[in-house]
Amino acid sequence: MNCRTGCGACCIALSISSPIPGMPDGKPAGRHCVHLTSDYRCAIYGRPERPAVCNNLRPAPDICGSDRDEALALLAWLEWATRPEPAATQSGPVQPL
């Protein structure tokens, strides 16, 4: 499938761990990328500073759904399903002070 014009759901719902110009720590899930325009286009499309993850993302029905709202819901679920496990807590006998 082709990317829907004026969607931008993946530029909001997904987290990006690599630095983005203007977002040096990447982008948390659910936050608009600073390069997402008001009509939901990428302001740095085709430019070398566009993150590789954005260049590599391929539109597909299972993430893009049939409309923007469905894409936002599917991508939010994907973020939740692939979130990192919390660090294991240290186990073992409690040392008395």
CA-CA distances (angstroms) from residue 81 to 17, 74, 75, 78?
16, 10, 10, 5
Size of the site for ligand SF4 (CB under 6 A): 20
Query: Is 4 a binder of ligand SF4 (CB under 6 A)?
Result: yes
Q: Which is nearer to ligand SF4, 1 or 94 (CB)?
A: 1
Is the Cβ–Cβ distance between 19 and 33 less than 8 Å?
A: no
Largest CA distance in the chain: 63
Site for ligand SF4 in 65-94 (CB under 6 A): 71
Asked if residue 31 binds ligand SF4 (CB under 6 A), the reply is: no
What is the spatial distance between Cα 68 and Cα 91, in angstroms, rounded to a whole number?
Answer: 45
Is residue 36 part of the contact set for ligand SF4 (CB under 6 A)? yes
Residue numbers at the binding site for ligand SF4 (CB under 6 A): 3-4, 7-11, 20, 33, 35-36, 42, 44, 50-51, 54, 57, 59, 64, 71
